[in-house]
């Protein structure tokens, strides 16, 4: 029986993928309620990341489509 091991980079990439999917969907709406939901969603992702020892930093991500965006959930590759 083997151990299931997740590396920080794996967890970081999963969280960034979830953030990108949520951000892409939310970018289609401009309601204040959607923005409030996004802020709470991002806070939950950051709290999850910190629980795994992954701390916020600044990284650039390429959003779906042609325009460049900066992810609010910016997780550093700290080792």
User: For 54-63, what is each residue's pLDDT tens digit?
Assistant: 887 744 344 3
pTM summary value: 0.65
The answer, yes or no, to whether residue 10 has pLDDT greater than 70, is yes
φ and ψ at 53, to 5 degrees? 80, 20
The answer, yes or no, to whether residue 14 has pLDDT greater than 70, is yes
**Residue 48: closest CA among 5, 1, 3, 12:** 12
Beta bridge partners of 62: 68
Which DSSP symbol is given to 68?
A: E
- Extents of the domains making up the chain: 8-70
Q: Is residue 1 very low, low, confident or very high in pLDDT (cuts 50, 70, 90)?
A: low
Mean pLDDT for the stretch of residues 29-54: 89
**Is 52:13 a contact under the CB 8 Å cutoff?**
no
Q: How far apart are CA 53 and CA 64, in angstroms?
A: 28
Q: How far apart are CA 38 and CA 19, in angstroms?
A: 9
């Amino acid at each position: 029986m083997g151990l299931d091991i997740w590396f920080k980079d794996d967890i970081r990439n999963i969280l960034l993928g979830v953030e990108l999917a949520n951000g892409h969907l939310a970018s289609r709406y401009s309601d204040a309620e959607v923005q409030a939901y996004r802020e709470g969603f991002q806070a939950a992702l950051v709290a999850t990341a910190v629980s795994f020892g992954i701390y916020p930093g600044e990284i650039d991500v390429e959003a779906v489509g042609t325009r460049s965006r900066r992810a609010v959930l910016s997780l550093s590759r700290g080792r």
